[in-house]
Structures are given as structure tokens and as C-alpha cells.
Chain A
């Protein structure tokens, strides 16, 4: 067991840190959360800076440890997160890289890396959430096109996306996992309608996407027809790998700020508050170690995230909610004021036990795939 980084990894860290010191002051001012075109331009601009400096593809072909260092250092330095680049860099891109033809990789990957095109995700549907394979959006073959009709939901960045990685049903007669295909759909296609959805935090972070006879070229299908479920699983296991590294670093910083606030406003004198903060510190320290453990495991197994990812997500999503609950206890009455720090984050934290597999589904996965308990009826 070794927690020390190699000289090459330390050198990568030092060079990145030096570049961040120079690059971050040149960033434009952060746009307001409601300014979608501004957010798109800001996030893509940051990706372009990474590209020019040679860091654009860290998410794809760097070793898991290098990726860990990259995410740790960028978050520590206060650099922007992937933002609008999320689906392209962390979902659609890796899927195309793994399953696409040479032509498809050449068409779609470079614009993602250069920060020129934004992708969104059309997976979930109103009646297909945790049971994603029950999706019903229909794609009918018509010559060289699929004609797609249906609706998608929880689609982040739909308003500003160029492309949508879309799961459609191409064989309604097949068992539900075997009749699905993966398509890259231009968001500018006729028949695509985007309607923003307001979250309980008040913001429009995602949207519904309605598809009415949208024509998508068959050439835009990645993988074989009806093999989309397997193609998709490549993407989802990727999402559950190192995706939360930056967030754990960020949570540890927030936790220190909450402790400082408690010291400044007197709540620190309450031993129950101190001990709750201490326990959370233990949790987040352990989550960081678990991340290092999972990354080392992925490194040893050739980059495949192991079962540790579900274990991590379960513990992390609850710790994040506890963090903002403690912050509210420290804030007292001010925790009801949306202008205060951490209040919106407290609301947003509720999504963490739902998005990317609810905690209940994750526990089923852990129980069946890790512990070997029988599938229920």
C-alpha cells in the first residue's frame, strides 16, 4: 500500500499548478447562472484554454492517477469545472471513442476537445428513470434516416447543445434491453423542442426535450442497431468512476469554511456542532482515501472503474447532504435566506441521491453484483 505519487506524477502536478497560476487570472468574469449563452461561451473558452495548453484530453487517455491529480489540482486552484462540456467530455466522447467508427471519432471528438461543440444527454424519459431500459422514444427506419418521435427528460444544457446522445427504441418487439440504439442527434434538427424545467432550487438546470418526427441519419448511429444498451453501459460505468474527484475536494473546502463560520458566529462553542463537524471531516477524509483506492484499483485493472464506484457514490451523496445540513445548523435563521452561502447548495444537494442512479438502485447494484444476493421478483 503506497500513497506516494511517482516522480512523473509529481512533475505533472507541478507543471499543471504552475500553468493554472498563470492561466486562471486571464479568465473572463463568470456569467450569471441564468445566462445560458454566456455559460456556454465561458465553459467552452475554458476547454479551449486546456486544449491549447495540452490538457484537453486528460479525461480520455491519461492514466486514472493523472486524471485524479488533474481534477484535484484544478478544483484546488478554483478553476472552472467542465460545465457545458460535461456530456461531451465525460459521456458521449468516451462512448464514441470506445464504440465509434474512425469516421465518427474524427467527426465528433476533436470539436469536443477543442471546446467547439456542446453535447447533451437524451437518456431518461418521463416513464423511464431508474428503469432506463423501459424507454419508449421510437426510431423508425426510413431510407438513410431514422425518424424519431418521443420525449426525453432531465437533459442538462439542452438549450445550448449542438448534439444530443440519444437512446431510442429501434425494435419494439425485442426484449427491452435488446431493442435500443445509440444515436447522435443534431439539436438543430426540425422537430426538436426544448422546454426548460425548473428545479426545486428555483433554477432551470435541465430541460425536457420533445421529438416529433425528427430525422437522424443512420450514419449517426454509434454501435450496431439494437446494441445501444451495451454501448450505453460503457458510458455509465465511466460516469461512476472518477467523476466526483473535484467535488470531494470542493466539499472539503466548504467544510473548512463552515467550521470557520461556526468559530466566527459562536456556534463552535456547542460541542454537538463541533462533533458533527468532526464526523464529517472523518467522512470526507475517508471518501478521499476511497477515491485513491478506487483509482489505484482502476490503474491496476487497466482503467476500468470497479465496484467501488457504487460504494463511493452511496456514501458521498449522503455526506454531501449532511454537509449542507450542518452548514444550515451553523447558519441558524440565516439558513432560510436564499442570499446566504450554502442555502442553494443545500437544496441542490438533494439531487445527489437521485441523479446517476438513486441510492436505492445503487444499493440493489451493490447487493446483487458485489454481495451476490439474488435478484428480487
Chain B
């Protein structure tokens, strides 16, 4: 089985996803597919693309579901991709060393040349973040856009994962979660960012920001209730009187 880096650097690159503002538009998922279709793990094969059972490789998927009841009920849009765990089960189970975690930035990658398509990693990953490409018989996954974030051929401002660059609401953030002073770490701190399923023990690097409290009840905006004297005392004629005596 595959070891983790013996001397990892403190750098932990990852994503922070804001569930307070994700509207479930799938922009991140499609932009990811588009960039990566021609990128490091290209292609992201689509089987039966125009037929009855279209099935493609996606590194990032958005799930929409409902949670809670009554007034506490909400519709949740939940983007899901590799969390680049500190102790990634997918790497630990890999029999060939194909799955590995980079020492320098913590990104979890797959070396396709070594992958035998045994799918152990996808069984091990509690997040379901691995995508098997049936066409070529190897496992594929989010690379954190490793061919963008260091890419000297693109403008510096654009050296972020495609999903972050494209997100219309600005719900996705990229940075070094190993540096407590980084903007992204401070965001996690300020917004009580959390680990997805910490009980699985994988110590994910990516964090999710929970929805903020909703401004729903009376007074949440600071408003005071309008006076409620019975309409008969005011009504239209009352209004006319008020206006004429102004």
C-alpha cells in the first residue's frame, strides 16, 4: 500500500466552499470538466454521450437536496470534489503507488501510468470523490488544477482552479490552508468552516463554510413592527385628513 510523504511541507493547498451562497448553478462542475477535458488527466471521457445512458467523468459534482423541516427546512446545494485529505484513505490503499500525495503542496494526484484500475481507492474514499474512466481503465480525480495554479503561461490572477475562477457567486476560494495567516484560513476561522465527515479520520484539507443564520424572524433587520391600530380609524379618509393637515 502507498505511503504518505515522509516530510510534507506545511503548505496545504485546498478549497473552501461557502454553502451560504452556493445557488447550485453547476458552473464550477462544468468549468472543471471543460478545463480538465483538455488538461492533465485528459480526457474526461463521456460514454454514450447522446444516447439513453450518458455517463461521463466529472471531477466536481453538485448535489441538491433538502434538509430540515418546516421553517428550518432548506434547499442545500452541495458541490463535491476531492478534499485533498491530509491522511487520504485513497492513497493508503493504492497497491501500486499510482495514488499519491504531493509533499510540496499536499495535492492528491494519480499517476495514470501506474494505475491498474483496481478501484480500491474509490472504495476507500469516504467522499466518493474518485471517478473511474471506463474507456481507458484508470481512475481519475480532481488535480486542484495543478496545470493552472502554477502555470506561467496564464495570467497570475487566473492561476486558481477553474472552479474558483468561474464561480459566479464567489462561493469558492483557493489558497494555503496550512498557513493560519492566509486569507483563506482566516475565512475558515471567521465563518466556522468545518471538515466534512471528520469521523472518517481522513482530515480533509478542503473546508465547507456553513450557511449563516437567516434573517427571517421579526426584528432581524432591526426593523420595528409598524403600528397596528385598526384600519377603520385610519383608512382612506384618515389618510386624506392627515395629508390635508400636513
**A complexed with B:** no
